[in-house]
Amino acid sequence: MTQVTTPKAGLVPMSELSQLKHTTSITKIRHVDGKRTITLQVTPPSTMTLEESVEKLEAIVKESVPPTMLQDGTAVKLAGKADKLAQTIESMKWNLLFALAIIYLLMSALFGNFIYPLVILFTVPMATAGGFVGLKLTNMFVAPQPLDVLTMLGFIILIGIVVNNAILIVHQSLNNIRHHAMKSKEAIIEATRTRLRPIFMSSLTSVFGMLPLVLIPGPGSEFYRGLGSVITGGLALSMLFTILVTPALMYLMLTLSGKKEKEI
């Protein structure tokens, strides 16, 4: 038994001066931004995506941590890859708007007009709706697919693809009016008729080319399934709406612009 020398009592056993108790605690005190911090590292299973893990952890924290514990300045924060995921998702939103702005300005410069690109960009919301429909069908019939980073990247890729079909109709309609002296309605009908086959050829080849990413299982298929679902659904739906809606919008724009020229 360990003994300690004291000035008055001489040798005293350590048990008389202190009490030994075995417990579990942290080995060191960490500080982040001047605040004491306790880090709990969580490793999700390999079959679970990072976004699913973050959602489950946030639900657990919300249910387990009482609100009274967070009133004295205590906070619970997800860091590491979860924090980077939130930053990536936030940047993806701005990238989406940035892509739309670049496409609009580029088409405005090529067409020499700020109105016709709006007709083309009208296909983007329809393609976005088709992307969500594709994700829903994938969740129902193939496998659960969260809206992860790669899936969001599919929406940005979709913007650059779906505008091609509308460009064919708008560009050919303007060519018929300027170079063949056709009236607006006749020019749009002829442009739609002549561009129908190229639209179906380009869209269907892209759709069937993306289907293996969605339907064929295998190692790593869950990472690209969302990307394929978004592009496949967005292309399929926008292909149909482009043929039906773009000619009508083009005729409306040409009619309104013609009336303004007459009034001037």
pLDDT in tens, the chain (264 residues): 677 777 777 787 877 777 778 877 767 777 777 777 777 777 777 666 666 777 777 787 778 777 776 667 777 777 766 666 667 777 777 888 888 899 899 999 988 888 899 999 998 998 999 999 998 898 888 888 877 778 888 888 888 888 999 999 999 999 999 888 889 999 999 999 999 999 999 899 989 998 888 888 777 777 788 889 999 999 999 998 889 899 999 999 888 877 544 443
The DSSP code for 218 is -
List C-alpha distances in Å: 244 to 169, 188, 218, 255. Answer: 11, 12, 38, 18
Instruction: Flag whether the pTM goes above 0.95.
Output: no
Confidence (pLDDT) at 195:
92
Q: Residue 124 is part of a domain; what is its CATH number? A: 1.20.1640.10
Q: What is the DSSP letter of 3?
A: E
Domain match, 94 and 141 both: yes
Same domain, 29 and 150: no
- Residue given tokens 């020019």 in the structure block: 187
Length reported for the chain: 264
Residues 256 and 141 in one domain: yes
pLDDT score, position 87? 72
Residues 126 and 34 placed together within one structural domain of the fold: no
3-state SS of 151-215? Answer: HHHHHHHHHHHHHHHHHHHHHHHHHHHHHCCCCHHHHHHHHHHHHHHHHHHHHHHHHHHHHHHHH
Q: Which of 47, 70, 93 is at the close of a domain? A: 70
Distance in angstroms (rounded) separating the CA atoms of residues 119 and 253: 8
Helix (H) or strand (E) holding 238: helix 221-263
* Residue partners of 135: CB distance under 8 A and separation at least 6: 145, 147, 151, 226, 229, 230, 233
Domain with 21, as residue range(s), is 3-70
58 and 91 housed in the same domain: no
For residue 15, which of 26, 29, 27, 1 has the smallest C-alpha distance? 1
DSSP type of residue 72? T
- Distance, in Å, from the CA atom of 189 to the CA atom of 33, rounded to the nearest integer, reads 65
Whether residue 12 is contained in a domain is answered as yes
Residue 155 resides in a domain: yes
